[in-house]
Structure 1
Amino acid sequence: MEKNLFNRTKGALTDTLRYHLVTKKLNTPLGFAILGLVAMLMSYVTVVVDVKLSVLIVGLLGVLLLCGLCIVYPLFGFYAAYITTLFMMLPARLSNSALPIPTGLIPEYLAYLAMLGVLTKQQFRSEMNARFWKNAIMVWMLVLVFYYIIQLANPSGRSILGWFNFFRKQVSFVAFFYISYCLLNSRKAIKQFTWFWVGLSTFNALFACQQQWFGFARYEEIWLMADEKRYALFVNFGFIRRFGLLSDPAAAGILYSCSCVMVLVLALRSTKTWEKVLYWILTAIHFMASSYTGTRTGTMMIVAGMVFYVVLNLYEKKTLIFSGVFAVMIIGLLVAPIYNNMIINRLRSTFEGSKDPSAMARDLNRAIVQPYAYTHPIGGGLNSSGNMGQLYHPGHPMSMIPPDSGFMQTMMEQGPIGLALLLIFYYALMRTGIKSYYRLRDPELKTLLVCHFVSIFTLMVAQYSQLAVGQYPSVLYFYSVLALLVKMPQYDENAYQPQIAEKN
C-alpha cells in the first residue's frame, strides 16, 4: 500500500512538473515562484560565495539552453552555426592569449545538435529520399570520406590525433550538407537563406571597412602586435591588411570576394529598382572590403566568377553588354595612371603572375613537393603539411613546406590519388550545378541558383592559391549551396525533366 501511494505521488509530481516546465514553459504562478527562487539563489551565490561561480552557473545554463534550442528548433541551430563563426576570434583577441582557444569546435557541435533535431522530426526526415543518396555530389562526398578512413593506415603518417582532427572536421561538413538539404526545403527557405547570407557577409564586410576608415580598436592593435610573425603577415611594405572579424586577411578576402560576386549577380538580374540599387551598394561595400584585405586571390575570384557567369549566360544580350563594361573596368584598373595608392597597386599585382615574389615562392615550393608526391601516391598523411604538420607530425618532410594552396595541400597530404578524387568531386559539383541551372524555367529560382553557384565556383578557383574551402564561415556556405544545387529543380513546376522529354 505504501508502495502504491509512493508511485501515485511520484506520478502526480512528474505530471505537475511536466505541465509547468514543458507545457506552460514556466508561464504559471508556480513557474514565476521557481524563477524568483533561482534569482535569489544566484544573488546569494554572487555575494556570499564567489562571483566567478555565479558567472559559471549562468554560462552553463546558457549553454544548456542553446543546446536545447538547437535540438528543438534545428533551423535555429543551422543559423547559429553560421553566426558563431564570425565571433570565434574575439575571445583570443580580447584576452590576447598566447595559447589557441578551441572556438572552432563550437560550429561543429551546433551542427551536430541541429542534425539531431532534424533526425527527431518526421517533416525533415522525409526529405531523405533516393534523390539525396543517388546524386553525384553525395556519392563522391562519401567516397572522399572513405578515402580519409583509409588514410588512417598511411605509413607516412605519424599522428593519429592529426588524422582524427582532419577527419572530424570533414564529417562535420558532410553533416552540415545533410542538415542543409533537409532544412532548405522550400522556395521560402531558400530565399531566407540567401538574405541571411547577404546580411551576414555584409556585416563582416562593413566591419573590415570601418577598420580601414577609422583604424583598429585598441584590443585589435594589441593582438596584432603581440606576435612578430603575425605582424609580418598582416603588414606588407606599410600596407596594413584588414581582416574584419575573421582569423586573417586571406580568409576575410575570400569571404568578401565570393559574396561580392554573389550580390553582383543579384544586381544584374534583379527586376525591381530598389533591389538593384541595394545590391549595387552591397557590391561596392564587398569590393572595398576585399581590397582592404590585400588578398590578391580575392581579385582573381571576382574576375573568374564574372567570366563564369558570362559563359553561363552568353545567350542574354544584357550579359554580353555587361561583359564588355566589365572588361573595360579591368583594363582601366591595370593602366590607370595611379601609382601611389597601395590598395590599387595590390590589386594590380594579382595579374603580374610569376613576377610577383610570393608567386615565385609558391612555384618553388611546388617544385620541391613534386618528387615526394610522385613516390607517395597517398601522400604524407592528413594534417602533415605546414603549421599543422609541425604540430602533429614534427620532423615530417612536408611539415617544413607551407602548402599555400588547397590543391597543393591535398597533393602533399593525400597524394595524387587524393587530388584526383577531389577534382572528380569538383567535376560532379560543376556538372550538377550546370544541369540544374539549365533545367530551371522559373526566373526567380534561376537567379537564386546562379548567384550561389557562381559564388562557390570562385571558392574552387581560390583553391589554386589559398586554402579557401575549409575556412569558416565560407566552408559552411559552400556545403549549404551544394544542397541547393541538388534540390532547386524540385521547386520549379515547369523545370525541364529529361525523362518526360525522352518519352515525348
Structure 2
Amino acid sequence: MNSNNTNPFDKMSGSANLVNPKGILFLFVGFVFVGLILAKLQVAGVGLLFALIFGSVYFFLLFKNPTIGFYTAIGLNFVILGIGRYVQGLPLGFAIDGIMVITFLAIIFSRFRERVDWSPANKDITILAAIWLGYCIFQIANPEARMIEPWIAGRGIGFYFFFFLILTFMLIDTNKKLDTFLYVWGTFSLLATLKGTIQMLFGVDYAEQAWLDNGGAETHVLFGKLRVFSFFSDAGQFGGNQGYAGVVFIIYSMAKKGLTKVFFLTVGILGLYGMMISGTRGSIAVPFAGFMTFFVLRKNVKVLSVGVIFVAIVFVFFKYTLIANGNDQVRRMRSAFDPNEPSLKVRLDNQKILKGYLASRPFGGGIGHAGDKAQRFLPHAFLSNVATDSWYVLIWAELGIIGLTFHLIVLFYVIGKASFKVMFVIRDPITKFKMSALISGMAGIMLASYGNAILGGMPTALLIYASMAIMSNPEIFEEDLNNKKTELISA
C-alpha cells in the first residue's frame, strides 16, 4: 500500500506505545536506574539527577540556539571568580573556555546541513585580533619565559579576544539580541552592587573572610575599613566594572522608553553607586572619560558645553573642596586627585624599575610572568616582585614594548573608527545612542586601566571584546531598525 494513503489517525501516540512490551521494558529500566541513583547516593543522587536533567535541557536549547552560549559566557564571566572562593580544587578557570568551545560547536551543528557562513566575522578588527593572538602564541618561545603554566593561566589575553570577537560577530546581529546582551549584563551588574552593599553594611561571609585572611586583607582592609569587592576578583575590578556599567547603561537608556528605560537608568545609577563603595580611586576615571567622550560624540556645542561644565563641577568638588569628607568612600575617591598621593609615587618608582629591566627585553618577560599573580608560579622571579598595577604596565612587562605598542594601536583604532562611524556615517538616532554608550564605556575603561589592571580582568574583558565587535559593525543594527520600520509601514 502507498504510504500516502495511510490514515494519520491510525498512528500510535507516545502513551499508546507503552502497550508495546519494548516500551514497558524501557520505562521499567529507566525507573530502576533512577531508583538506584537515589538509593545509592541519596541527597547527592537527587542533585545529580537534577543536574543531568538541567544539563540535557540546557545543551538541547544551546545547540538549537547557539546565542544562549554567548549569554551564558557573559553571565559566568561575572561570577566565576567569586564561585572560586566557595568551591576550591575545581578548574573553574576553564569554564569560560568550555562554554566558548561548545558554542562554536553549536554554531556548526545548528547549520550542519549547510555550510557555516563565517563572513560576518570577516572584519579588520578580526585580522588585528588574529595578529595579536599569533604574537601571544609566539610568547611561548619567549627566551625570558621560564614556565608554560603562567602562559596557560594568562591565555585569555589572546584567545578570549580573538574567539569571543568572532562569536559576537556571528551571534549578535539584531537589536533584539543586542538588547538581550545588555539585559544579561545589567542583571549581573545589579546583583554585583547588591552583593557589594551587603558586604559594606553587614560584613563578609565565611568564604570571603577566608580570602581576606589569606592575603586579601592587605589591599582590601585599609585603616579598618573594607574595600568592597562583591563577587569580583578584587575591589579595583569591581569599582572599574561598575563605573563601566554606569556609563554604558545611563547613555543606553536614552535609546529606550517606558519600563526598559527605567531598568537601564537603575542599572546605570546603581553601577555608579557600586563604583563609589568599592573605594577604588582610579575607577572614577571611567565616568569622567566616558561621559566626556559621549559629549564629544553628540557633535552638539550646547550638549558639549553643559557636559564640560558638569565634569568641571565634579572635578572641583573632589579636587578643591572637603565637602562630604567624613564619608570614607568620598574621601578615598578624593585622594585620586592628589598628585602627591604616596601610592602614586610608588607606582611611578616601580615603572622606573621596569623601564631599566625591559630596555633589553623588547618581547617582555612572558605572559603570566609579571605582578602578584605570577608569584604562585615564580615567587622569587624579578617580575613577580614588582607591582604592575596598571593594565598597560602589565602588558609592557609581559609582552614588551612591541606588545604594548600593538595593543594600544588596536584599542585606539577600534574606538577611533567606531567614533567616526557614529559621528559621520550612522544616521539613525537610536543606533547612535547605543553605539555611543559602548564607545564611551570603553573610553572610560581605557583611561582607568592606566591606574588599575581593569581591561583584561573578568568580567570586564569579555564585555569589552563583545563591545568592540558590536561597535565595529553599527551598520547592521541600523539596517535592522530600518527593516523593522519598513515592515511596520507596509503592514
Normalising by structure 1, what TM-score? 0.82
Aligned-partner Cα distance in 2 for 1:194–1:398:
38
Query: Any conservation in 1 of the 2:396–2:404 contact (CA below 8 Å)?
Result: yes
Query: Any conservation in 2 of the 1:112–1:172 contact (CA below 8 Å)?
Result: no
Aligned-partner Cα distance in 1 for 2:414–2:183:
23
Aligned-partner Cα distance in 2 for 1:483–1:127:
17
> Post-superposition shift, 1:485?
1.6
Instruction: Pick from 423, 435, 448 the counterpart of residue 408 of structure 2.
Output: 423
Q: Please name the residue that 2:285 is paired with.
A: 300
In structure 2, the CA distance between the partners of 1:125 and 1:307, relative to structure 1 (3 Å rule), is farther
> Post-superposition shift, 1:42?
1.9
Q: Please name the residue that 2:276 is paired with.
A: 291
In structure 2, the CA distance between the partners of 1:282 and 1:69, relative to structure 1 (3 Å rule), is closer
> Post-superposition shift, 1:313?
1.8
Instruction: Pick from 237, 247, 259 the counterpart of residue 261 of structure 1.
Output: 247
Q: Please name the residue that 1:102 is paired with.
A: 91
The answer to whether residue 67 in structure 2 is matched with residue 75 in structure 1 is yes
3-state SS of 1:104 partner: helix
Q: How does 1:298-337 map to 2 (within 5 A)?
A: 298-315=283-300, 317-334=302-319, 335-337=321-323
Query: Any conservation in 2 of the 1:257–1:298 contact (CA below 8 Å)?
Result: yes
Greater Cα offset, 324-333 or 286-295: 324-333
Q: Please name the residue that 1:405 is paired with.
A: 390
Aligned-partner Cα distance in 2 for 1:84–1:464:
26
Letter in 2 for 1:120: F
In structure 2, the CA distance between the partners of 1:72 and 1:38, relative to structure 1 (3 Å rule), is farther
Q: Please name the residue that 1:249 is paired with.
A: 235
Aligned-partner Cα distance in 1 for 2:264–2:47:
43
Query: What is the RMSD of the two structures over their aligned residues, measured on CA atoms?
Result: 3.0
In structure 2, the CA distance between the partners of 1:172 and 1:72, relative to structure 1 (3 Å rule), is farther
Query: Any conservation in 2 of the 1:243–1:293 contact (CA below 8 Å)?
Result: yes
The answer to whether residue 151 in structure 2 is matched with residue 166 in structure 1 is no
> Post-superposition shift, 1:220?
4.7
Aligned-partner Cα distance in 2 for 1:190–1:125:
25
Q: Please name the residue that 2:205 is paired with.
A: 218
The answer to whether residue 365 in structure 2 is matched with residue 380 in structure 1 is yes
Letter in 2 for 1:420: T
Greater Cα offset, 156-165 or 416-425: 156-165
Aligned-partner Cα distance in 2 for 1:211–1:307:
32
Q: Please name the residue that 1:500 is paired with.
A: none
Aligned-partner Cα distance in 1 for 2:175–2:212:
47
In structure 2, the CA distance between the partners of 1:90 and 1:152, relative to structure 1 (3 Å rule), is closer
Normalising by structure 2, what TM-score? 0.84
3-state SS of 1:339 partner: coil
Instruction: Pick from 338, 342, 357 the counterpart of residue 324 of structure 2.
Output: 338
Letter in 2 for 1:86: F
Once the two structures are superposed, residues 427-466 of structure 1 have per-residue CA deviations (whole angstroms, 9 ceiling, x without a partner) of 2212331133131111111111111111122222222111
> Post-superposition shift, 1:35?
5.0
Query: Any conservation in 2 of the 1:91–1:101 contact (CA below 8 Å)?
Result: no
Q: Please name the residue that 2:192 is paired with.
A: 204
The answer to whether residue 114 in structure 2 is matched with residue 119 in structure 1 is no
3-state SS of 1:226 partner: helix
Greater Cα offset, 315-324 or 248-257: 315-324
Aligned-partner Cα distance in 2 for 1:305–1:374:
33
Aligned-partner Cα distance in 2 for 1:342–1:110:
40
The answer to whether residue 371 in structure 2 is matched with residue 371 in structure 1 is no
In structure 2, the CA distance between the partners of 1:92 and 1:415, relative to structure 1 (3 Å rule), is closer
> Post-superposition shift, 1:32?
6.2
3-state SS of 2:473 partner: helix
Q: Please name the residue that 1:128 is paired with.
A: 118
Q: Please name the residue that 1:11 is paired with.
A: none
Letter in 2 for 1:128: W
In structure 2, the CA distance between the partners of 1:145 and 1:218, relative to structure 1 (3 Å rule), is closer
- Structure 2: segments with no counterpart, 5+ residues: 1-13, 16-22, 482-491
3-state SS of 1:245 partner: coil
In structure 2, the CA distance between the partners of 1:156 and 1:440, relative to structure 1 (3 Å rule), is same
Query: Any conservation in 2 of the 1:349–1:356 contact (CA below 8 Å)?
Result: yes
The percentage of aligned residue pairs carrying the same residue is 22
Q: How does 1:122-161 map to 2 (within 5 A)?
A: 122=111, 128-129=118-119, 132-133=121-122, 135-161=123-149
Aligned-partner Cα distance in 2 for 1:320–1:126:
49
> Post-superposition shift, 1:210?
2.8
Query: Any conservation in 1 of the 2:290–2:440 contact (CA below 8 Å)?
Result: yes
In structure 2, the CA distance between the partners of 1:89 and 1:389, relative to structure 1 (3 Å rule), is closer
Instruction: Pick from 32, 37, 44 the counterpart of residue 42 of structure 1.
Output: 37
Letter in 2 for 1:218: D
The answer to whether residue 226 in structure 2 is matched with residue 234 in structure 1 is no
Q: Please name the residue that 1:474 is paired with.
A: 460
Query: Any conservation in 1 of the 2:245–2:267 contact (CA below 8 Å)?
Result: no
- Structure 1: segments with no counterpart, 5+ residues: 1-18, 21-27, 496-504
Q: Please name the residue that 2:176 is paired with.
A: 188
> Post-superposition shift, 1:125?
6.9
Q: Please name the residue that 1:454 is paired with.
A: 440
Query: Any conservation in 1 of the 2:65–2:110 contact (CA below 8 Å)?
Result: no
Instruction: Pick from 317, 324, 336 the counterpart of residue 350 of structure 1.
Output: 336
Tell me how many residue pairs correspond in the alignment: 459
Query: Any conservation in 2 of the 1:136–1:432 contact (CA below 8 Å)?
Result: no
> Post-superposition shift, 1:363?
0.5
Q: Please name the residue that 1:501 is paired with.
A: none
> Post-superposition shift, 1:356?
1.4
In structure 2, the CA distance between the partners of 1:273 and 1:52, relative to structure 1 (3 Å rule), is closer
Once the two structures are superposed, residues 312-350 of structure 1 have per-residue CA deviations (whole angstroms, 9 ceiling, x without a partner) of 224253443243234323423441433322111011111
The answer to whether residue 383 in structure 2 is matched with residue 391 in structure 1 is no
